[in-house]
Structure 1
């Protein structure tokens, strides 16, 4: 049932706002508990737990649930659709928020965290794909995902500031109200999404052609018979046909090599593995570690009365870093943003680690390390926060986009769980040496993007399929363009890449 009659750009704007609201809840929920973990009324309510593992387990149970959800939802998301998955996530988010806000024990709190983790697992799988598949113009995807990232990260400082205000009180409402507040995002996003259509690409992939035509016409603000609608329809159908042809060479054993060995013509296995590894590397680079435990990191420098204030400002810098991406991602390109951003972040986190190592007893050096962290998170927000979601949802083949989205969220939440659980333990046990782990993640990011991530900007989702046909490592070959003529059915693939031309392409591109 769809009651929203908006068309064209107004409809897509509404879709962006609603998806962004879901992601803002995601960011808010990630940050809200961190601001009350040391608040006496909160600790009293859950029995003042002791031990190194209790608090990290409360925090990280959310990430563990999101990871498991991302794996499970991959088997059902294609049936439910992108829209249905988002609605399910928002419903469970409300349930989880109520359980957390009414908690009087560690076990109840963990159950609530598991529910919200399930919710965010659904949302993080579906929202980037929904945004990309409803974009009509090639330049829609980059700004839409950047806007999503801005709202996602804005949810973190919003949670910190609400915590900061409420924890001035000394009662149970001081921590329960901030937690239940996230239901507002879920009601708005889930309620509105119910009246929005699913993506035309999902309808076509499910053989629901009339609905796909109707939504495509609505997004184009044109009639179904128009050339623009029909051209996009032909592109989608050609991509589906080509992917079905590529399925014949798909061997699931290739997943055991994590995409290094891939005999499929469109590199389906490698692309899904990239969807897993890229967000996993992002979390290895330290974003969630710093965002979750900014108060712990800042206690080495600031007075307790300033820690919450600085934590909020630090996360605002993180969100502000996402803003320039909105205006530049289509001009600069995804690969360049990821590659050069990783180089800059490696330099910054190395400097930070050196300052932390020599900083104790030197207030000026300690404050300099905090300044570097501000710069690091700003750069992170620009280069890796929104761009990873965008890139992974672009490169996943249409028939496997739900699996690619699940792989993306699984990698994200697996490494988030590891870093968030191990972070406070590592800080307590080995001190600044723990940052060497973060440095290694940034170095790996440079190598990974250089070798495996071709540029996807300036191409439709269907044209991106052809970037991977019979190609070797991205960093060791020349990029090539795909013209509209190449998209006129599967014959276009054979014309450009098949038969006698195949060897020429491999030789010219530096194929391994």
Structure 2
């Protein structure tokens, strides 16, 4: 997290002071590199330190609050500076990027290491103290702490036997059947969802609004800024329901509801041909807002939470790096293919995304493993099962006794 923040600050300085496109692009590269490093380590840390019963809330808030706070500041800053004349209209939004990174750089040293890292590095007592303080309410004899210590130590010993000290060797990601399935899930939730239209709305909202007849730059900036507000509120609310509804239900309902939003958007775009009545145009905008609300409530809290949950300890960092690579490739395709599609086939672009929505829904139904309420070590057993989806949906009870740990392990 520290190194990621450092690169973001350096990249921001280069961008904000740039006098030519080469320096600007160099700064942008460093910012992208820093964001990738931070987005790899941050969610892993949050997932590893969170109690299983609250991991959905904390993991969801990490991404939803961070993304939405940044998006709100960025969209409304651009809306305000868009009225300015001169270079500061674009330099101010760039400079603001450095402030969150500076806060991280100066305060990250106050954070304790995760108990899993501490046990893996021979700091067992520090790990136990962390779990007692934050998971056991200060109770040294907490049955939950005893169970977690037992599970983490067992899993850590197993990981050491499979240790891969070569950071550049990504073969362990695909070394077993269950790991291949996890990587498939990683791509399914992190990459495929970029091809159901949400990224298009984010990147090319001005072009979309042009196509339906809303051409005023001021109106477009305002519509985008309001869209961020509605989506942000929805994503924060969604975080509080991750552990109640479960990850699987949120993925499935998110795909279904956003797909339904795309149907009227597709129809309006087909009839528009660049000229629609004002009321029809704003009906299209309303469905964009509704799409953003459903997407943000159901999927935004899971963006980094679910990938961090399904990856085993020894390849969690590499898995996130692999996902970031695949995300970059998907974003590259979206960035360069979508404007060409909008120009050449117009409204039929929305039809393609609509079809992808319901294909994606079927893929999610057959593939998503429920992680709600499970410890990271329990998920190892679920993925080792020949039918992990069915296994994850089974009811499972563990009876704990204070000071004695697990007294009974009851299978359905």
Does the pair score TM above 0.5? yes
Which of 323, 326, 332 is matched with 1:411 structurally? Answer: 326
Name the residue aligned to 1:422: 337
Q: Distance in 1 between matches of 2:129 and 2:19?
A: 50
Moved more, 422-431 or 307-316: 422-431
> Is the Cα contact below 8 Å between 1:147 and 1:326 reproduced in 2?
yes
> Is the Cα contact below 8 Å between 1:129 and 1:393 reproduced in 2?
yes
> Is the Cα contact below 8 Å between 1:395 and 1:464 reproduced in 2?
yes
Q: CA deviation at 1:483?
A: 4.0
Q: Distance in 1 between matches of 2:29 and 2:392?
A: 46
SS at match of 1:351: helix
Q: CA deviation at 1:462?
A: 1.5
Pair 1:282-2:170 in alignment: no
Q: CA deviation at 1:456?
A: 0.8
SS at match of 1:194: helix
Within 5 Å, give how 1:139-158 maps onto structure 2: 139-148=53-62, 149-158=64-73
Pair 1:304-2:220 in alignment: no
Q: CA deviation at 1:193?
A: 0.9
Within 5 Å, give how 1:65-214 maps onto structure 2: 86-136=1-51, 138-148=52-62, 149-214=64-129
Q: Distance in 2 between matches of 1:469 and 1:496?
A: 19
Query: Would the alpha carbon gap of residues 154 and 353 (structure 1) be closer, same or farther in structure 2, given more than 3 Å must change?
Result: farther
> Is the Cα contact below 8 Å between 1:298 and 1:307 reproduced in 2?
yes
Pair 1:292-2:203 in alignment: yes
SS at match of 2:241: helix
Query: Would the alpha carbon gap of residues 246 and 89 (structure 1) be closer, same or farther in structure 2, given more than 3 Å must change?
Result: closer
Q: CA deviation at 1:317?
A: 1.8
Number of corresponding residues: 395
Which of 456, 460, 464 is matched with 2:379 structurally? Answer: 464
Report Cα offsets for 1:418-441 as digits up to 9, x if no partner: 212322233223322222342244
Query: Would the alpha carbon gap of residues 276 and 129 (structure 1) be closer, same or farther in structure 2, given more than 3 Å must change?
Result: same
Q: Distance in 1 between matches of 2:179 and 2:20?
A: 46
Within 5 Å, give how 1:423-442 maps onto structure 2: 423-442=338-357
> Is the Cα contact below 8 Å between 2:382 and 2:392 reproduced in 1?
no
SS at match of 1:299: helix
Q: Distance in 2 between matches of 1:464 and 1:118?
A: 31
Name the residue aligned to 1:271: 182
Q: Distance in 2 between matches of 1:242 and 1:483?
A: 24
Name the residue aligned to 1:56: none
Report Cα offsets for 1:209-232 as digits up to 9, x if no partner: 344334334434537675543332
**Structure 2: unaligned runs, 5 residues or longer:** 165-169, 401-405
Q: Distance in 2 between matches of 1:312 and 1:340?
A: 26
Report Cα offsets for 1:18-65 as digits up to 9, x if no partner: xxxxxxxxxxxxxxxxxxxxxxxxxxxxxxxxxxxxxxxxxxxxxxxx
Q: CA deviation at 1:478?
A: 7.6
Q: CA deviation at 1:237?
A: 1.5
Q: Distance in 1 between matches of 2:329 and 2:191?
A: 7
Pair 1:337-2:263 in alignment: no
Pair 1:222-2:148 in alignment: no
Within 5 Å, give how 1:355-394 maps onto structure 2: 355-360=268-273, 361-363=275-277, 364-394=279-309
Q: Distance in 2 between matches of 1:299 and 1:357?
A: 14
Aligned alpha-carbon RMSD (Å):
3.0
SS at match of 2:386: coil
Q: Distance in 2 between matches of 1:306 and 1:179?
A: 22
> Is the Cα contact below 8 Å between 1:275 and 1:407 reproduced in 2?
no
Q: Distance in 1 between matches of 2:53 and 2:82?
A: 43
> Is the Cα contact below 8 Å between 1:281 and 1:444 reproduced in 2?
no
Name the residue aligned to 2:403: none
Which of 358, 366, 369 is matched with 1:443 structurally? Answer: 358
> Is the Cα contact below 8 Å between 1:276 and 1:409 reproduced in 2?
no
Query: Would the alpha carbon gap of residues 246 and 439 (structure 1) be closer, same or farther in structure 2, given more than 3 Å must change?
Result: farther
Q: CA deviation at 1:333?
A: 0.5
Q: Distance in 2 between matches of 1:333 and 1:466?
A: 19
Q: Distance in 1 between matches of 2:335 and 2:299?
A: 18
Report Cα offsets for 1:170-220 as digits up to 9, x if no partner: 122221121011111111122111221221112223444344334334434
